[in-house]
Amino acid sequence: MTDEFWSTARDRLIRYAANDFVPAVIERAAGAEVFDSDGRAILDFTSGQMSALLGHSHPEIVETVSRSIATLDHLFSWMLSRPVVDLAEALVASLPAPLSKVMLLSTGGESNEAAIRMAKLFTGGHEVVAFDQSYHGVTHASGAATFAIRRAGYGPVAPGNLVVPTPNPYRPLFTRDGRHDWQAELDHAFAMVDRQSVGSLAAFIAEPILSTGGIIEPPPGYFAALKRKCEERGMLLIFDEAQTGLCRTGDWYAFQRDGVRPDILTLSKTLGAGMPLSAVITTDEIEQVCHERGFYFGTTHVNDPLAAAVGLTVVTVLARDRYDETARRLGGRLRDGLLELQTRHEVIGDVRGRGLLQGIELVTDRTSKQPAGDVGAKVTARCLDLGLHLNIVQFPGSSSIFRMAPPLTITDAELDRGLAILDQALTDTAHQA
Ligand code: PMP
């Protein structure tokens, strides 16, 4: 049965990335687990594609989708319904002023597309700056601001996409007295931006924790300094909280740690908790100016009621059940477990991240910090054998950084089981080498 499945898959599916499909036929998913065709439970430490924030088939999401599809599914793009307005209101209530205007779309790339268009229209500029390990999508402007994947082979991107080094505390480019001198790194980065710019800077787009780029957490103080650099140049700051938003890091939004407010915020993955839903949120002023200048982003699924109803349920459940606190508590448990593994597994060079978005970086030795080659791939395969799915983030030059982002609904026992499997897989892989 599964042989036929794989041969049809090979014959019929376009491959959309270099990495292979996970070698399991998934028949169903529930809570923090997915089940393969042998009925085997696999713990889902990636929340699907970092999206199933409330676990798979959460009863309240099932109820919302069932009710909505039967009563209010999809509308003309200029027709409004209550779930849209209610979700906009709920999102604004969860955010600091002056973020007060919301547009609902479908995917992360699309939300960044819209955010960048607004930034261009508002500032009159067209240049967009991003980190060199950024991931904001694969569409036109989002893809042009994405540097964590290979850009070769697709022809020219829009001119005016500039790049600055990702501030990586584990592998700092600039150091002083053995410490990461992020201020000097940032000053240098913007000196380079100023040299390259044709005087048309529109925005800086950033994830508060770079997820696909390796679970990199810029040091405290960095984003406040970055915001000042943007203000000095009349650029907007766009935070892309596709992965970090909505309680995952232990705060409602990861930018809260830094006390820095973006001019435009984009949400996606976690907002739909597995359904395609994204949002762009900005200030009254930016919305007003863009409107006066004829802003257009009328897509087929803009402000669609079914997706909005799901988002409203997600935000309501997160607030009612205090999932920010849950993510903080479980994040502490995950961190303690990973640090304990680091005391016994020499290959774990670094443990990082926040709340239920954490990562470990594997190295050949802790002094040289040489990436650990294919060890990560072997550990991943062994974890899958033992019933745990986690993934290695892949960007040019990376090889062994694991990302862990289980659903916020995971139990203590499931989290501990995942850690025990990772422990076993690291041990088995070390013996294999
Ligand atoms: N932004 C970030 C931070 C992401 O991680 C992703 C997806 N990995 C995107 C944007 C793009 O989202 P989508 O794939 O839904 O277009």
Q: Judge whether 170 counts as a catalytic residue.
A: no
Per-residue pLDDT for 1 more than 80?
Answer: no
Per-residue pLDDT for 261 more than 90?
Answer: yes
Distance 179 CA to ligand 1 centre (A): 32
Instruction: Please give the share of the chain, as a percent, with pLDDT higher than 90.
Output: 94
pLDDT band at 118 (very low <50, low <70, confident <90, very high): very high
Helix (H) or strand (E) holding 352: strand 348-354
Task: Look at the alpha carbons of 236, 118, 154, 211 in this order and tell me if their dihedral is positive or negative.
Answer: positive
Looking at residue 20, what is its pLDDT?
85
Distance 356 CA to ligand 1 centre (A): 18
Tokens at 365, concatenated: 């030795």
Distance 266 CA to ligand 1 centre (A): 10
Mean pLDDT score, 284-313: 98
* Domain pair 2-57+323-432 / 72-320, same fold: no
Per-residue pLDDT for 394 more than 90?
Answer: no
Q: Which residue has the higher pLDDT, 314 or 394?
A: 314
Q: Which CATH superfamily is domain 2-57+323-432 in?
A: Aspartate Aminotransferase, domain 1 (3.90.1150.10)
> Could you tell me if 68 and 83 are in contact, meaning their C-beta atoms sit under 8 angstroms apart?
yes
**In sequence order, which residues have a C-beta less than 8 Å from that of residue 296 and are 6 or more positions away?**
none
Mean pLDDT score, 44-55: 98
Angle between helix axes 108-123 and 284-292 (nearest 10 degrees) is: 70
Distance 414 CA to ligand 1 centre (A): 27
Region at 388 (left for phi over 0; alpha for psi -120 to 50; beta for the rest): beta
Which position has the token pair 């190295």?
A: 363
**Ligand 1 atom 1: residue of nearest CA:** 136
How far is Cα 113 from Cα 393, in angstroms, rounded to an integer? 23
Distance 175 CA to ligand 1 centre (A): 31
Q: Work out which ligand 1 atom sits closest to the CA atom of 108.
A: 12
> Hey, where are the domains in the chain?
2-57+323-432, 72-320
Q: What is the mean pLDDT of the chain?
A: 96
pLDDT band at 332 (very low <50, low <70, confident <90, very high): very high
Looking at residue 19, what is its pLDDT?
81
Looking at residue 395, what is its pLDDT?
72
Mean pLDDT score, 48-71: 98
Looking at residue 431, what is its pLDDT?
78
* Residue 348 bridge partners (DSSP): 362
Q: Could you read off the pLDDT of 13-47 as tens digits, one per residue?
A: 999 998 889 999 999 999 999 999 999 999 999 99
Q: Alpha carbon 344 to chain centroid distance? A: 30
pLDDT band at 433 (very low <50, low <70, confident <90, very high): low
**Of 182, 174, 167, whose CA–CA distance to 214 is shortest?**
167
Dihedral Cα 111, 114, 119, 121, nearest 10 deg:
-170
Domain 72-320 has CATH 3.50.50.60: no
Q: Work out which ligand 1 atom sits closest to the CA atom of 212.
A: 5
Q: Work out which ligand 1 atom sits closest to the CA atom of 138.
A: 16
Looking at residue 432, what is its pLDDT?
76
Q: Work out which ligand 1 atom sits closest to the CA atom of 139.
A: 16
Question: Cα dist. 150→107, 132, 146 in Å?
Answer: 21, 11, 9
The pocket around ligand 1, CB under 6 angstroms, is made up of 107-109, 112, 135-137, 207, 211-212, 240, 242-243, 268
Which position among 16, 135, 296, 323 bears the catalytic label? 135
**Of 250, 415, 404, whose CA–CA distance to 327 is shortest?**
250
Residue of 106, 239, 268 best suited for mutating to test ligand 1, as the one with most atoms within 8 Å of CB: 268
Mean pLDDT score, 366-379: 91
DSSP string across 390-430: -EE---TT---EEEE---TT--HHHHHHHHHHHHHHHHHHH
pTM exceeds 0.85: yes
